[in-house]
Structure 1
């Protein structure tokens, strides 16, 4: 997934100084961002007051959108570095192409995991023909310094482990939940799960007290630790929890994201994550010159051009503004 803002603003992320070391209930409101030709997303991370949750550094929620009479998602080739992208669908299909030669159609509750490492480019499209509805989330995971220059690669996992309880099914996207571990490669302590609850369910999900967590409501009427969530909103939960109370007042679903607070300070600008202004500027120049990030074969159209850098230097700071 790309950040298509033509006036890209640097996000200064990371560092443990602003991590909430106790349970909280901080509701994060999304902002509307156009994506490609016909998709509008709700951007929840980075947010005005919170930049990361563990290593999760970017969260877009979109749909459900009726795309029967339109092209659906159309995101041209664009670069990434220093991160992983996580494609997660509830409805619809997305065709992924990248500069390593990977081509894969991702369908609901299948994991498309792209590790950019030092440099990669990719495109995302609703295939033709495509299902009527499109609904999902796109997320980034920041890579720690020890792994941010790995070789770029793409993983696809159609079958993911599940944890079940009466009225609750948790699909493990990344990391481990209640002893069930995703096959997706993670480079720092983190977790991601898709939770489905039936109407009237009350359940408690075990958590790691050293992780910070946030819950993204996808569909239906849910309460997370007693807080009602509307679809497209996110509740930051802080650290220090051993379990999470959940309840549903209709059939509902949400995503739970968590991880050990990310210690390193980052500079996130456009679709690139680095550590210094110079590193980001060099990567932008390489993309504009057509070097380093490779080519995406098979996409019918032009690649994205990078926006201009801001006039002042990009400086890494803390996790919140």
Structure 2
């Protein structure tokens, strides 16, 4: 997915326990609405990046959208646009998106199926919801590539993870919910999809009033993006579209669905990304010149290849800001 803002902002790129409860302290990040484009301007909820936090592990961008009635909104129609220095992770809850890229990939994003595209030195792609889609609902995520891999060759992967039962309380039939692990390892399951830094990505569904305790990597920081329901993360209540952040140092993560209906969420994790980056529009680099060169290459039609099969013009790059872009990390 593209960042279609015409004036994209320059982003500023051990868990302490709660003093009263002793539970790990969870930082709650709230989203902002961003118009994505299309005939009637489909809107997404963006929780990463923001001033409070730019990265969770190498995860640097999170758009959450829907449930969207495409008859009313026009659905998704993102024209060919470029990416550098990152991977895109597409994950749907409902609907279908047609993906085309300059590698020659032509694929469909469907619920419960991972589409992972590696931009590396440069790739371009388009995303369009299909005529079969009535309700469009999902997340679009970006992963920053570490310095040693940010110029890697463009790539595209498709993977369908199976469901894994989550045990907890109330016991009932022995399952308190299920997970689909699309990157990394969780609940005894491991995705075969390779990553360039240690990562976790999984969809979780918790049964009504269920509590689960997940074994997590203490070297990871984690983010829990809530799609539906209300879930207590450690001792902090999250509401739909909020993202709970948990710093490294924890071996377990307790989640409780406080509602009478199943709750759904996406769990992200990774080791803290120790590099400072510049993220502007659809590019990730290390300094202003990286970004300026990527923009020039896109506007002059070099480096990123051609997306074949899209009916329409590609997206032009916005103008660079007057001030030089400066690299940032999670410092504030």
TM-score range, shorter chain: over 0.9
Query: Given that residues 207 and 242 in structure 1 are in contact (C-alpha distance below 8 angstroms), is that contact kept between their aligned partners in structure 2?
Result: yes
Aligned to 1:135: 137
Change (3 A) 1:295 1:160: farther
- Decide whether the 8 Å contact of 1:160 with 1:173 is kept in 2: no
- What's the counterpart of residue 26 of structure 1? 27
Which stretch of the first structure deviates more once superposed, 29-38 or 221-230?
221-230
Identify the residue that residue 65 of structure 2 maps to in structure 1.
62
Structure 2 CA distance for aligned equivalents of residues 48 and 240 of structure 1 = 23
Report the secondary structure of 1:309's partner residue. Answer: coil
- Out of 248, 252, 264, the position equivalent to 1:239 is 248
- Map residues 176-195 of structure 1 onto 2, 5 A cutoff: 176-195=185-204
Query: 209-218 or 309-318, which moves further after superposition?
Result: 309-318
Moved more, 204-213 or 153-162: 153-162
- RMSD of the alignment, in Å? 1.5
Aligned partner of 2:181 in structure 1 is: 172
Aligned to 1:3: 3
In structure 2, what is the Cα distance between the partners aligned to 1:159 and 1:233? Answer: 25
| Counterpart for residue 36 of structure 1 | 37
TM-score, length basis structure 1: 0.94
Runs of 4+ residues deviating >6 angstroms: none
TM-score (ref. length: structure 2):
0.91
The corresponding residue for 1:45 is 48
- Cα distance in 2 for partners of 1:304, 1:20 equals 41
Q: Of 256, 272, 275, which residue of structure 2 is paired with 1:264?
A: 275
Task: Name the SS for the 1:245 alignment partner.
Answer: strand
Aligned length: 315
Cα pair 1:90 1:135 within 8 Å, conserved: yes
**For structure 1, which segment, 21-30 or 60-69, has the greater mean C-alpha deviation from structure 2 after superposition?**
21-30
Find the counterpart in structure 2 of residue 255 from structure 1.
266
Counterpart position of 2:152? 150
Q: Unpaired runs of 5+ in structure 1?
A: 14-18
Alignment match, 1:222: 231
Q: Aligned ranges for residues 116-131 of structure 1 at < 5 Å?
A: 116-127=119-130, 129-131=131-133
Alignment match of 1:284 (pick from 295, 299, 321): 295
Q: Contact 2:161/2:181 (CA < 8 Å) preserved in 1?
A: no
Greater RCO (CA < 8 Å, at least 6 residues apart) = 1
Q: 1: CA distance between counterparts of 2:209 and 2:296? A: 54
CA separation of 1:42/1:300 partners in 2, compared to 1, >3 Å: closer, same or farther?
Answer: same
Inter-partner Cα distance in structure 2 for 1:33 and 1:68:
20
The answer on whether the counterparts of 1:214 and 1:257 sit within 8 Å (CA) in structure 2 is: yes
Pairing of 1:61-140 with structure 2 (within 5 A):
61-69=64-72, 71-127=74-130, 129-140=131-142
Name 1:295's counterpart in structure 2.
306
CA contact (8 A) 1:223 1:246 kept: yes
1:21–1:97 CA distance, 2 compared to 1 (3 A): farther
* Cα distance in 1 between the residues matched to 2:227 and 2:274: 29
Q: Give secondary structure in 2 for the equivalent of 1:278.
A: helix
How far apart, CA to CA, are the structure 1 residues paired with 2:321 and 2:274?
Answer: 26
1:183-240 C-alpha deviation (Å, 9 max, x unpaired): 2221101111110111121111111111111100011222211322211111111111
Partner of 1:146, secondary structure, is helix
Are the aligned partners of 2:165 and 2:176 in contact in 1 as well (CA < 8 Å)? Answer: no
Determine the C-alpha separation between the residues in 2 that align with 1:169 and 1:277: 43
Asked whether the 8 Å contact 1:163–1:171 carries over to 2, the reply is no
Q: Secondary structure at the match of 2:297?
A: helix
Distance 1:77 1:10 in 2: 22
Instruction: Could you tell me which runs of 5 or more consecutive residues in structure 2 were left unpaired when the two chains were aligned.
Output: 18-23, 168-174
CA distance in 2, matches of 1:226, 1:309: 43
Counterpart Cα distance in 1 of 2:63 and 2:79: 17
In 2, distance between residues paired with 1:163 and 1:121?
Answer: 37
